[in-house]
Structure 1
Amino acid sequence: MINAVLVFNNSGQPRLTKFYTQLDTTTQQSLLSQIFTLVSARPASACNFLPLPPLLSQHSTPNPSSSSSSDYSDAPTQITYRHYATLYFILISTSTESPLALLDLVQVFVEALDRLFENVCELDLIFGFETLHAVLGEMVVGGVVVETGLERIVEGVRASEGGMKGKRRSVNEGGYGGPNGSGIGMGRSMGTGAGGAMRALGWAGGGGLGGWR
């Protein structure tokens, strides 16, 4: 089971927080801070998955009044992450999930965002949060991975959004976003530098999957 999906920028500002395990707001905020500190301190050469420290996992321990050892199967035990140029994509999960499969899940997640935003950057995740959540909703439901096919994910989001993309474009063309009238598209020059979506999130240059670490 996936207990949480988190996206942070390099400054620790959350761009997506989705919890599939019920936690109170105070505990969530504490976990966000601790998880980012833990992951951001790791060197580039470090492994992309690590055990969830006891201090963090104890927040999500199931109710001990339940009657069997399987009660603890939903307790989070591991962190899986990928660091792109300006963004950390982090999954908190149980030990029943394969870390390698979760790394691939993050890859598909970012590729789907790239398709939908046409060269995705950090600002797209801020202003296009509906699409961000829609993509995640196509892939994970109740902490269970239900879809990993890139084309089906993109088609599902486009079908559910309908005419929203055209409406967003008309707002941008009206000058929303500043004196340049560039709207959310200004992220192409402000966020992570020049280039397309893969380049914006740190993929380009290495070819294929070489941009992640």
Structure 2
Amino acid sequence: MIHFVILVSRQGKVRLTKWYSAYSQKERTKVIRELSSLILPRAPKLCNFVEYMGLKVVYKRYASLYFCICVDQDDNELETLSVIHHYVETLDRYFGSVCELDLIFNFHKFDLGCMQAYFILDEILLAGELQETSKRTTLRLIAAQEELVEVAKEQASTIGRLIAEATK
């Protein structure tokens, strides 16, 4: 089972977190701080697995981001690496060569900031388990979510105009 997913920059700034196990806010902050200090200084030629608090953290660096997934001690590291790679490839297809700024600002999408990265992660993983392995299906579902958001925005705008006219 996946306990959490953390994306952190080379400078140690957290770009995305998703928790599938119960951690208090204090514990989350501690985990992020400790994992950052454990993973960031590691040499590139070292293996991408570290033991942490009786669990296993599998990480992979893509450009300026470290993608870290914490799994049970007996889970397969290579399968976890393939989940990370699948997530990165899906992000790449969605954003067109994803970079850290896409996750932070996401200028060219519809005012949701890095929410698309969370939506994609939620389509791939469900409750800490791999749910969807098809990039095409994941992207189709994200496109459907975008359409729903646009419809909701239009409806909210219409309702706002009706309220404004009624209160004149």
Which interval holds the TM-score relative to the shorter structure? Answer: 0.7 to 0.9
Say yes or no: does 1:79 pair with 2:57.
yes
Question: Runs of 5+ in structure 2 lacking a partner?
Answer: 106-112, 151-168
Say yes or no: does 1:134 pair with 2:119.
yes
SS of 1:89's partner is strand
Q: CA deviation at 1:33?
A: 0.5
1:173-193 Cα offsets, whole Å, 9 max, x none, are xxxxxxxxxxxxxxxxxxxxx
Closer, same or farther in 2 for the Cα pair 1:163/1:120, shift >3 Å?
farther
Match of 1:148 among 121, 124, 133: 133
Match of 1:112 among 90, 103, 112: 90
Q: CA deviation at 1:164?
A: 5.8
| Runs ≥4 residues deviating over 2 A | none
SS of 1:27's partner is helix
Q: CA deviation at 1:97?
A: 2.4
Q: Matched residues in 2 for 1:143 and 1:93: separation? A: 9
The residue that corresponds to 2:31 in the other structure is: 31
1:139-162 Cα offsets, whole Å, 9 max, x none, are 111111111222121112112222
Give aligned pairs, total.
143
Alignment of 1:47-196 (within 5 A): 47-52=47-52, 54=53, 57=54, 77-127=55-105, 128-162=113-147
Alpha-carbon RMSD across the aligned residues, in angstroms, is 1.5
What is the TM-score of this pair, normalised by structure 1?
0.64
Q: CA deviation at 1:163?
A: 6.7
What is the TM-score of this pair, normalised by structure 2?
0.80
Q: CA deviation at 1:90?
A: 0.2
SS of 1:18's partner is strand
Q: CA deviation at 1:95?
A: 2.5
Q: Which amino acid aligns with 1:104?
A: S
Question: Runs of 5+ in structure 1 lacking a partner?
Answer: 58-76, 166-213
Q: Which amino acid aligns with 2:51?
A: P
SS of 1:106's partner is helix
